[in-house]
Amino acid sequence: MNLCSENFPLRPAWTEIDLGKLRRNLQLIRRDLPRAVKLLAVVKDEAYGHGALDVARVAVEEGAWGFGLSTLEEAMALRDEGITAPLLLLGERQEAELPWCVEHDLTVCVNEPHTIRKLARVAAALDKCVPVHLKIHTGMSRYGARWDEALPLVEQIVAEKSLRLEGVMTHFSQSDEVDKSFANLQFSRFNEVLAALAAKKISVPLRHACNSGGFLDLPHAHLDMVRTGILMFGIFPSSVCRRLPGIEPVMSVKAKIASIQKLKPGEVVGYGMRYTAPGERRIAVLPIGYGDGFPRVRNTGCALIRGRRAPLIGGIAMDALMVDVTDIPEAQLWDEAVLMGRQGDDEITVHDIAKLKNSVSYDVLTNWRLRLRRKSVNGEAKPAGQNLTPGLASTHG
């Protein structure tokens, strides 16, 4: 059996990744960004569930300088597939990982003296001079050295012959809300560090702070590079951040009607008998459930069928959910239903799904399980010579 063979049937429930829309979103982001500012495409967690390799291939064509990742495995997978662009590991590295990072030209974020020392030794042993990014925490209290304790680390890195201080970075705890006061406090702390570096005549080519929210709303903080994740996938990080017209969601979740049932008044539906038909009803069963990452809800939410909303009834199971199609009489077995995304003039957004599980868009995107295979559409490589964003070539490298 070969899952990759063209003839292997796709399960009638899948995620659809529109690489054409991804390309368009990247072009819109790139076009909005001053030319000199580089774009780091954040593709951690399988590019937020969109498939890191497919996303990386499109992003390289659309002028991304490199990629942000979380784990060593994620970065190695892209290297193994031939992605040669810089890969920046955003999180914390264990010492045992450092030789792998150096051997595969992965760029490490550092903020601990012993990691810096170890990395320098590994690089020296391989006769390499490796780029590092110093991660500075300016108020988020997660990864990074405190802003007021960062300078000795800079000096330590600069003193190591096998290390090259390529970047300094920080990360905002809140960049996409109306109140920017904490973001601005964080940025002023970061600027203190940058000013101290300048005073010591230490130049750092890549100073970066912005995620999608910062890219949209904190143009004064763009510096040399922005790190966008969710916006590339067509989702705005908050309801109040700046809108970039034309941005569209890349991922949809779909299933085909696998069974149709007729209910008589008083008959019940699903585990726990959570729904009782108030009259004659016609229901459709979609072969997708909480085992695929759909929120475990009952009698709430809906699917789009034939462009209309079919309300979810009863409790959702591991492998199935039921929707009421009484008002969509033309609905038939194996019709395509949309659980997340657009059909006709209507759309179920990632935020609608997030509400069902009391969570946020990031969580919804990354929580569709791999049991739902990804079907990429509109993934043709960019035709040679056609550049919809003129002048971008100069931002490479």
Q: Which residues are catalytic?
A: 44, 271
Please state, in angstroms and rounded to a whole number, the distance separating the CA atoms of residues 171 and 152.
Answer: 20
Min dist CB 337 to ligand PLP, Å, is 28
Instruction: For residue 229, state whether it binds ligand PLP (rule: CB under 6 A).
Output: yes
CB neighbour list of residue 57: distance below 8 Å, 6 or more residues apart: 83, 381
Instruction: For residue 93, state whether it binds ligand PLP (rule: CB under 6 A).
Output: no
Our CA dihedral for 269, 273, 277, 278, rounded to 10 degrees, sits at -170
Residue with Cβ nearer ligand PLP (14 or 172): 172
Please state, in angstroms and rounded to a whole number, the distance separating the CA atoms of residues 371 and 13.
Answer: 9
Residue with Cβ nearer ligand PLP (172 or 275): 172
Tokens linked to 79? 């290297």
Min dist CB 48 to ligand PLP, Å, is 7
Instruction: For residue 90, state whether it binds ligand PLP (rule: CB under 6 A).
Output: yes
230, 302, 320, 353: residue in contact with ligand PLP (rule CB under 6 A):
230
Min dist CB 226 to ligand PLP, Å, is 8
How many residues interact with ligand PLP (rule CB under 6 A)? 14
Residue with Cβ nearer ligand PLP (326 or 367): 367
DSSP 382: P
Instruction: For residue 207, state whether it binds ligand PLP (rule: CB under 6 A).
Output: no
Q: Tell me which residues in 12-71 interact with ligand PLP (CB under 6 A).
A: 42, 44, 68
Min dist CB 307 to ligand PLP, Å, is 31
66, 167, 237, 249: residue in contact with ligand PLP (rule CB under 6 A):
237
Which of 114, 209, 222, 119 lies closest to 165, judged by CA?
A: 119
Pairing verdict, β 225-228 and 251-256:
unpaired
Angle at 363 between CA 361 and CA 365, to 5 degrees: 70
Min dist CB 18 to ligand PLP, Å, is 18
Residue with Cβ nearer ligand PLP (139 or 270): 139
Please state, in angstroms and rounded to a whole number, the distance separating the CA atoms of residues 255 and 361.
Answer: 20
228, 252, 343, 395: residue in contact with ligand PLP (rule CB under 6 A):
228
Q: Which residue is nearest to ligand PLP (CB)?
A: 229
SS (H, E, C) 301-313: CEEEECCEEEEEE
21, 23, 93, 227: residue in contact with ligand PLP (rule CB under 6 A):
227
Residue with Cβ nearer ligand PLP (231 or 328): 231
Q: Tell me which residues in 134-173 interact with ligand PLP (CB under 6 A).
A: 171
Stretch that binds ligand PLP, among 197-205, 211-219, 246-254, 319-327 (CB under 6 A): 211-219
111, 211, 252, 376: residue in contact with ligand PLP (rule CB under 6 A):
211
Please state, in angstroms and rounded to a whole number, the distance separating the CA atoms of residues 168 and 190.
Answer: 9
DSSP 97: G
Please state, in angstroms and rounded to a whole number, the distance separating the CA atoms of residues 268 and 191.
Answer: 63
DSSP 327: T
Residue with Cβ nearer ligand PLP (77 or 360): 360
Counting other chains too, the contacts that 219-222 makes at CB distance below 8 Å and 24 or more residues apart are 220/187, 221/183, 221/187, 222/33, 222/34, 222/37
Residues that bind ligand PLP (CB under 6 A): 42, 44, 68, 90, 171, 211-213, 227-231, 237
